[in-house]
Amino acid sequence: MRVLGFGTYDRARHPRAGVLLDGLQESGAQVDELVLPLGFSTAERVDMLAHPWKVSRLVARLATRWAGLVRRRYAAGSPEVVLVGYLGQLDVLLARALFPRAIIVLDLLVLGADTVTDRGHGSRLRLAATGSLDRAAMAAANVIVVDTAAHAMLVPERARTKVVVCPVGAGAAWYDARKPERATTNPLSVVFYGAHTPLQGTPVIGAALALLETELSQGRLRVTMIGEGQDLVACRRAAGDVPGVTWHGWIEPAELPGIVASHDICLGVFGTTAKGSRVVPHKVFEGAAAGCAIVTSGTAPQRESLGNSAVLVPPGDPAALATVLAHLVSDAALVDRLRLRAAQHADQAYRPRVVAAALHSTLLRKCHD
C-alpha cells in the first residue's frame, strides 16, 4: 500500500500528520510526502477567519502553495491513499481533484466551526462559513480520522461510517527526550506549554499558582509556563506576583521535547468549554512520552484515554489543581511512581504504530475491496 502525505501541513508545528504517517510506515506502508507548509499557526488561521479583511492574506499564501503542489503532482505518481494533514479542510478539496482515484483520508483533528467558537469568534456568519467548509471537506474524503469518540459525534450522521478514531499520540522526538534515570527534582518542577485559549483553561492554572504561593516562595516548587494567546493576560493576572514561575513565549518545536523532559510534571488542559470536554490534548501524550507525570482535567475522553496513568482533577477548579500539586510537592516518591506509570502507558498506547493501527486496518480493507 502506497500512502502520500499531502497538503500544507507542517510536521514540526502540527505533528499529528507525522505521527499517522510514521505509524502507517512502521506498519508496512510505503509512505511519501508532497507538502508545502502554509506557514501560519492555528491561531493565525483562526484570526484570519474571524476578521474578513485578513482573509486575503490567507488566500494569497494558499494560492502560491497550491500552485506548487499542482506543479509537483505528477512526480507523486499514483498513490493508493492520500492522507491530508491538519488543518486540511481546504487541502482535501485539492487532493480530491488531483487524485480522483485515490482513497482520500482527512485528518479532522480540528473542526473549523468548533475552534472558531472556542476562541470567541463564533458569529452566526463565521459559524455558517466554517461549518460549510467542514462539511464540504468531510464529503470530499473517503476516510475521516478523529482523535476521540466525542469528536466523532460532531461528524454528521450520514458521514460517520467514514470515521476512524486514532488518538493523537506522540512522535519519536518525545520518546527520545525521556531521561528515565532522572530522579524527581527538588524543587518539584512543573511545565505547561500551549496556546492560552479557552480550551486550555490557563486562567485556572494561574489561579492555582496563586494558591500555591507558599510552596513557590519557599522554593519547593518551580513552574514553567510556555506559550501565548488570548487568555495569557488573564492567566498572569490570576497568578499575580507569585515567585518561582518563569513565563516564556513560543519556543521552537525542536526544543520543546528536551525542555518538557527536564520537568517532573506536565500539565494538560483545565478549561470548561464544550471543546475542552471533547479533546485529549497533544501535551498529555507528549509529556508522558517524555517521562513526565501528567496532571489534567478529568473529562470523559481523558478518563478513557489516560485511565490511571494520570492524575485527574475537575475542569475549571483551581483549588483542586492546587491541592494536587501541593500534595505532590511533599511526596517525591509518588511523583516517581506517576512518572513511571505515565511513561509505561505512553510506550504501550501512544507510539505511532499503535496510534495508526485502526487507520492501517481500514485502509488495507478499502484497498482490497
Full 3-state SS string of the chain: CEEEEEECCCCCCCCHHHHHHHHHHHCCCEEEEEECCCCCCHHHHHHHHHCHHHHHHHHHHHHHHHHHHHHHHHHHCCCCEEEECCCCCCHHHHHHHHCCCCEEEEECCCCHHHHHHHCCCCCHHHHHHHHHHHHHHHHHCCEEEECCHHHHCCCCHHHHHHEEECCCCCCHHHHHCCCCCCCCCCCEEEEEECCCCCCCCHHHHHHHHHHCHHHHHCCCEEEEEECCCCCHHHHHHHHCCCCCEEEECCCCHHHHHHHHHCCCEEECCCCCCCHHHCCCCHHHHHHHHCCCEEEEECCHHHHHHHHHHCEEECCCCHHHHHHHHHHHHCCHHHHHHHHHHHHHHHHHHCCHHHHCHHHHHHHHHHHHC
Higher-scoring residue by pLDDT: 93, 119: 93
Whether 2-169+351-368 shares its CATH topology with 173-349 is answered yes
Q: Is the pLDDT of residue 2 over 80?
A: yes
pLDDT at 142: 98
User: Which contacts of 241-244 are long-range, i.e. CB under 8 A and separated by 24 or more positions?
Assistant: 242/209, 242/210, 242/212, 242/213, 242/216, 242/217, 243/216, 243/217, 244/187, 244/216, 244/217, 244/219
Residue 48 has pLDDT above 80, yes or no: no
Mean pLDDT of 212-241: 97
| Residue, of 286 and 117, whose pLDDT is higher | 286
User: What average pLDDT does this structure show over 168-182?
Assistant: 94
- How crowded is the C-beta side of 20, counted as CA atoms within 13 Å? 36
pLDDT-based confidence at 190, cuts 50/70/90? very high
pTM of the model: 0.92
Give the mean model confidence (pLDDT) for residues 239-254: 95
pLDDT tens, 333-347?
A: 999 999 999 999 999
Q: Which CATH architecture has domain 173-349?
A: 3-Layer(aba) Sandwich (3.40)
Cα–Cα distance, 291 to 338 (Å, whole number)? 9
For residue 46, pLDDT beyond 70:
no
Predicted local distance difference test score (pLDDT) of residue 131: 80
Choice between 341 and 44, residue whose per-residue pLDDT is larger: 341
Residue carrying the nine cell digits 507542517? 10
User: pLDDT at residue 170 above 70?
Assistant: yes
The class of domain 2-169+351-368 in CATH terms is alpha beta
The tens digit of pLDDT for each residue in 49-74 reads: 556 677 788 889 999 999 999 999 99
Average pLDDT over the chain, rounded to an integer: 93
Encode pLDDT of 109-157 as tens digits.
887 666 666 666 556 766 677 788 899 999 999 999 999 999 999 999 9
Q: How far apart are CA 266 and CA 116, in angstroms?
A: 26
Ranges 85-89, 167-171, 218-222, 276-280: which has the least confidence: 85-89
Q: Per mean pLDDT, which range of 59-68, 99-108, 120-129, 215-224 is the poorest? A: 120-129
- Whether the per-residue pLDDT at 365 is higher than 60: the answer is yes
pLDDT, position 300: 96
pLDDT tens-place string over residues 312-324: 999 999 999 999 9
Grid cell in block for residue 42: 492555528
Q: Which residue has the cell 488561521?
A: 45
- In this prediction, residue 119 carries a pLDDT of 63
Higher pLDDT, 132 or 100: 100
Domain ranges of the chain: 2-169+351-368, 173-349
What is the reported pLDDT for 113? 60
- The reported pLDDT for the residue numbered 254 is 94
In whole angstroms, give the CA distance from residue 159 to residue 179: 43
